[in-house]
Structure 1
Amino acid sequence: MDFISKTIKEKPKVLLIYTQRMIRGRTFEMIENLGILTLAAQLNAHGFDANAYTGITTDTVKTIEKMKDNLFAICFYCDFDNQSAVASMIKYLKSHYDFYVVLGGPHTRHMTATDLDVYQADAIIKGEGEETLLKWLNGKVTGGEAAVPGEIRSGEKADYVQINDFSKYELPCNEDVLDYREMPLLSVITARGCPYRCAFCFEGGNSKKLRMRPVEDVLEEIEQRLSNSHRPRYLFFTDDTLTTDTDRLKLLLAGLRELRKKHDFVWFCEGHPGFLVKHPELIREMIDSGMVRMQIGMESGVAEVLKAYGKQAKPEDIKKVVEICYEEGLPQLTGNYIIGGAFETEETLKETTKAVLELLNLAPGLLDLSTTFIMPLPGTKIYNHPEDFRIVLEDRDYITSFEDFPVNHTWGLSLPEVCMGRSRFITKISQRMKEQFEKGLIPKERIKQDFQLALKYGIAGGYFKYIYAKNIVMFHYYSKLIEYDGLLKEWYELSKAEKDNWIIQKIPAFSMLDIKAVNQIELDILKYSGRFSVKEMSHKLKLSSENMNKLLTKMSDHYLILFSEFI
């Protein structure tokens, strides 16, 4: 191309982009896209100047326009969620600018030559691009026109490229993110592909085989990226297959335990309930290695539905994993329920709701539950044969939704009924969570853990976001408790001697309090706080030890006071 200057040819500037439609705060903005980050590392190791960028479409266009004069190429990551946005953006860019535009990502698996006209990119490359993207870009730098594996060309068959030996490629580097600023979350992938074949899952429906990275390589990557960190980190294992091989998992857990001696981090992973009920002892090992949050596939409370999905787990397996996680002290266990999925009717929704409420009762404060609608992902059983699941796909290309409205319904429920079913389901879950908190059923230690994870590692679970954080007095109380770790204690934590000699400290400002809800003696304690020990305060207010204990217990339960050894 004539526009390519000598400077650009010497170190071509490439921007790798993952963008979605205009809704801020969605998960994709918080979880790093390791696909484009890994490609950026590979390109930078071979003479390019590459950055990875994630953002909503309007911000993406503004970013490109700022960089337009220096860009050699833009590479879009295309998945089911952003296909229409990417198509529109490429058409716009190709009509205004001269740099190359390349399309890749998982959605290319089912693309054909007809998509060359739909997307209008300079190239559509199918599959994992560590080698193919580099080869294509190098060809453009040198003026070559050789086809690369996986590139869609008119009249030719293009296979989806998969790689097996990950060790020879560069490790992702966070600093390759455009305008990088350190965030708590640090994404890591340990394998590609999936051995399971869930009927709704793109990975399970399309992957040929599970390809695991050597544990040594995974640990090397984690240590390298943690060594460049300047704050506590939250490792987010993004693959679905961490709990697949017991020996490999134990080796990884041992490595994580060693790394935690040098670095301050905790971690999340997805676990398979069918695997975990067979190896329950691993849950304890995972927690001891730093796991604070895990997701398991829940999907439905109906056994026949789980069987139809191919989950290889039953409702009783899910229940057992919940029980074990609660007993072992896992801070957060998350799961997702599909509303309007396979064979859904009013009766199945009622059965699922009943099952979920029972799970919440089993483990107050543990579960962080979410809901979704079925997405007709290409290559999945539900996409290919929706009638087998009594599902009607109204919008197979998922053009009409931001994940807030279903694009399909069931034989037993209309689209509005699916929406109403989801609303009722969420309402009942929220009500039960609030009841648990209001009745004091959630252990204080669990509440404190949730605040620690949110304030230190950026992990905000459902109870924290929708209940704890909305209570300004409670938020102030736990913020101080965590900020002055060990210097301030709660009443229930104090030994018998400490309950006499430690100093009462007022935590919320008076402006935060509903003064009408505080009696005169409690006001006096708050007024004199910071000056007297518990024993001295009881003498001053002429209260017996028993009455003072009851009063301080009540005030502690209302998040009004903490205790320190010194004034």
Structure 2
Amino acid sequence: MDLIQKAIKKKPMVLLVYTQRMVRGRTFEMIENLGIITLAAQLNANGFEAKAYTGITTDAVNTIERLKDQLFAVCFYCDFDNQTAVTAIIKGLKKEKRIREDTYLVVGGPHTLHMTDKDLDRYGADAIIKGDGEESLFAWLQGKTQNTNINVPGEICPGKNAEYIQLKDFSKYQLPQDDAVLNYVERPLLSVITARGCPYRCAFCFEGGRSKNLRMRSAEAVLEEIQVRLEKSRRPRYLFFCDDTFTTSLKRLQALLQGLKKLRESHDFVWFCEGHPGFLSKHPELIPDMMDSGMVRMQIGLESGVDRVLDAYGKQACTEDIREVVAACYQAGLPQLTGNFIIGGAFETPKTLETTTRYALDLLQLAPGMMDLSTTFLMPLPGTEISRAPQNFNIELEDQEYLTSLEDFPVNRTCSLSLPEICRGRAVFLTRISNRMKEQFSKGEIPSWRIRRDFQLAFRYGIAAGYLKYIYCKDPAMVAYHRQLNQFQGLLKEWWDMDASEKENWIIQSAVEDDMVDYKTLGAGEVEILLRSGTSSAKEMASMMNRSAEEVKACLEEMSRKHLVLFSPSL
């Protein structure tokens, strides 16, 4: 009898999976999938034991197989990137019998928007449920626990299509449940979404498809979620606002900023958002307010340096708008501004590539140390204008299903450029950007406070910008120098931050370990200062070395440039 009662009380286990093809370290692994952890929370509040898992395909399959004796259902989040992976995994699990026969396999996610009953055979799943799943997925799974077959809103049935479900009032559903993540370990990044859908209609963007209406959460609801999740945190957090509609409503944005500023009085966090350059160019006064409430990094859509191309994309912003926003962010002291250029996109020619490259270099020149530029190729996302009518953009799709790419190879050519030429164009673009960034650093064009701030954000909040990853971190001494500066904040100073008296009397401290220093490249004075560091000031060092104060100060300034010494208060 006890065994029967135990079996009755056991909750059905559901694993919600987001997986992509086998490339470790991609962005999807770093950012929580809010879709599956929100659904997990909803299921856990209604009689299920739900866990969310994100990882590459091989790890996902191994995880499912490891848990197979416990699983009631496996639900796959399907987007354009992972559609072939989801198909292969489901069919492989069944064919190779890597799960129990009574385990249900369900497909959901954004890619279902354009699915029909033909996809039932293609995916081989027990169900495909379209749209927001808070109600539909729960109803479907509950029916299966009761051995009843019910048709739920959004479910595709043989011979019958289904509407894409769009929920409007999210306040009645459970908040995302971080600890529902399988083998959860708290990391700095904490994803938040403030809206679903998008009011814009960019020609390349799936989120702004014509059937996906903007549904915004109230500022109060968003702030409540952030507060609840921060109260469970045990470390500084980096809030990552995932949606690209954060700056859509002026009134709501202002309410969010006020609330975030208030929350920072009791919680240690900074945040990132996507900002629309058309909106921000009209409201540049918001940028200091956003920073005052904790914004340290923002992304704006760049796409191209050619206005005709931006118009074709339906960007609702021009190159001058973008330039104004970059200038305003730099003037306000924003640590990091990131943006992406599409290479080989609409009307791309050798001339437009050169124009875009020069435009990107101009943005770097406008904001040394702040811009974090990246590139992508076009993706023929279903339902987008480019996918439906590529000829209107002087594009020919070579791989409509995106089978040959992991975002690393183009799947379209233009009237002027072949696939190899687009690849070469991207390589040239990235090389010129990288060389300019290195030149800015080597010439001292990047303010020292910006470099120091990038290291602070990396050490405390796990935010690694492009300059830091590809330039600063190449120098072990520089990393050690800033690690000490960050670790002993307030107790150590840089040479540039001291007044005349401090430069003379503060104790010289070595900023590096011995094995980081190539003593053959140092002068005799520099070697002697390092060997005597930790006990003496510049004034005392001059006396011991029998050198003038000016000579020692000049030596210390040069050693500071090499990130070899820091300074602590005199004893």
| 1:467 is aligned to 2:471 | yes
Which position in structure 2 is the counterpart of 1:74?
74
Identity %: 64
Q: CA deviation at 1:499?
A: 1.4
Structure-2-length-normalised TM-score:
0.97
Q: Is the 8 A contact 2:348 2:414 kept in 1?
A: yes
Where in structure 2 are the equivalents of 1:229-268 lying within 5 Å? 229-268=233-272
Where in structure 2 are the equivalents of 1:519-534 lying within 5 Å? 519-534=523-538
CA separation in 2, counterparts of 1:62 and 1:509? 42
Letter in 1 for 2:545: L
Which position in structure 2 is the counterpart of 1:15?
15
* Range with greater deviation from structure 2 (206-215 or 72-81): 206-215
Q: Is the 8 A contact 1:194 1:207 kept in 2?
A: no
Letter in 1 for 2:360: V
Match of 1:387 among 378, 385, 391: 391
What CA deviation, in whole Å up to 9, does each residue of 1:483-516 have, x standing for no partner?
A: 1111111011112221121100111123212222
Q: CA deviation at 1:517?
A: 1.9
Distance change >3 Å, CA 466–CA 8, structure 1 → 2:
farther
Where in structure 2 are the equivalents of 1:358-377 lying within 5 Å? 358-377=362-381
What CA deviation, in whole Å up to 9, does each residue of 1:392-415 have, x standing for no partner?
A: 111111011111111111111000
Which position in structure 2 is the counterpart of 1:548?
552
Which position in structure 1 is the counterpart of 2:28?
28
CA separation in 1, counterparts of 2:15 and 2:210? 27
Q: CA deviation at 1:10?
A: 4.0
Letter in 1 for 2:176: P
Structure 2 unmatched runs, 5+: none
Which position in structure 1 is the counterpart of 2:413?
409
* Range with greater deviation from structure 2 (157-166 or 513-522): 513-522
Q: CA deviation at 1:421?
A: 0.2
Match of 1:321 among 305, 319, 325: 325
Where in structure 2 are the equivalents of 1:473-512 lying within 5 Å? 473-512=477-516
Which position in structure 2 is the counterpart of 1:114?
118
Q: Is the 8 A contact 1:340 1:373 kept in 2?
A: yes
| 1:310 is aligned to 2:314 | yes
Which position in structure 1 is the counterpart of 2:84?
84
Q: Is the 8 A contact 2:18 2:78 kept in 1?
A: yes
CA separation in 2, counterparts of 1:366 and 1:422? 21
Q: Is the 8 A contact 1:8 1:70 kept in 2?
A: no
Letter in 2 for 1:199: A
Match of 1:102 among 91, 103, 106: 106
Structure 1 unmatched runs, 5+: none
* Range with greater deviation from structure 2 (175-184 or 95-104): 95-104
What CA deviation, in whole Å up to 9, does each residue of 1:361-418 have, x standing for no partner?
A: 1111001111000000000000000000001111111011111111111111000000
Where in structure 2 are the equivalents of 1:202-241 lying within 5 Å? 202-241=206-245
Q: Is the 8 A contact 2:538 2:553 kept in 1?
A: no
Q: CA deviation at 1:21?
A: 0.5
SS in 1 for 2:280: helix
Q: Is the 8 A contact 1:195 1:210 kept in 2?
A: yes
Q: CA deviation at 1:535?
A: 1.4
Match of 2:179 among 175, 182, 197: 175
What CA deviation, in whole Å up to 9, does each residue of 1:174-200 have, x standing for no partner?
A: 000000001110000000110100000
Which position in structure 2 is the counterpart of 1:46?
46
SS in 2 for 1:17: strand
CA separation in 2, counterparts of 1:91 and 1:312? 43
| 1:185 is aligned to 2:189 | yes
Letter in 2 for 1:463: Y
Letter in 1 for 2:563: Y
Letter in 1 for 2:47: G
CA separation in 1, counterparts of 2:211 and 2:104? 29
CA separation in 2, counterparts of 1:373 and 1:228? 39
Which position in structure 1 is the counterpart of 2:301?
297
Give the root-mean-square deviation of aligned CA atoms. 1.3
Moved over 4 A (4+): none
CA separation in 2, counterparts of 1:5 and 1:430? 65
Q: Is the 8 A contact 2:41 2:180 kept in 1?
A: yes
Q: Is the 8 A contact 2:538 2:549 kept in 1?
A: no
SS in 2 for 1:347: helix
Which position in structure 2 is the counterpart of 1:455?
459
Letter in 2 for 1:26: R
Q: CA deviation at 1:286?
A: 0.4
Structure-1-length-normalised TM-score:
0.98
CA separation in 1, counterparts of 2:65 and 2:81? 24
CA separation in 2, counterparts of 1:488 and 1:376? 52
Q: Is the 8 A contact 1:9 1:141 kept in 2?
A: no
SS in 1 for 2:74: strand
CA separation in 2, counterparts of 1:467 and 1:154? 56
Which position in structure 2 is the counterpart of 1:343?
347
What CA deviation, in whole Å up to 9, does each residue of 1:112-143 have, x standing for no partner?
A: 01101000100000000000000000000011
CA separation in 2, counterparts of 1:249 and 1:177? 30
Q: CA deviation at 1:534?
A: 1.7
Q: CA deviation at 1:307?
A: 0.7
Q: Is the 8 A contact 1:8 1:72 kept in 2?
A: no
SS in 2 for 1:167: coil
Letter in 1 for 2:502: E
Aligned residues: 564
Match of 1:288 among 286, 289, 292: 292
Distance change >3 Å, CA 104–CA 140, structure 1 → 2:
same
CA separation in 1, counterparts of 2:361 and 2:503? 38
Q: CA deviation at 1:523?
A: 1.0
Letter in 1 for 2:34: L
Q: CA deviation at 1:9?
A: 7.6
Letter in 2 for 1:547: E
SS in 1 for 2:191: strand
Q: CA deviation at 1:426?
A: 0.3
SS in 2 for 1:297: strand
Q: CA deviation at 1:533?
A: 1.2
Q: Is the 8 A contact 2:511 2:566 kept in 1?
A: yes
Letter in 2 for 1:122: D
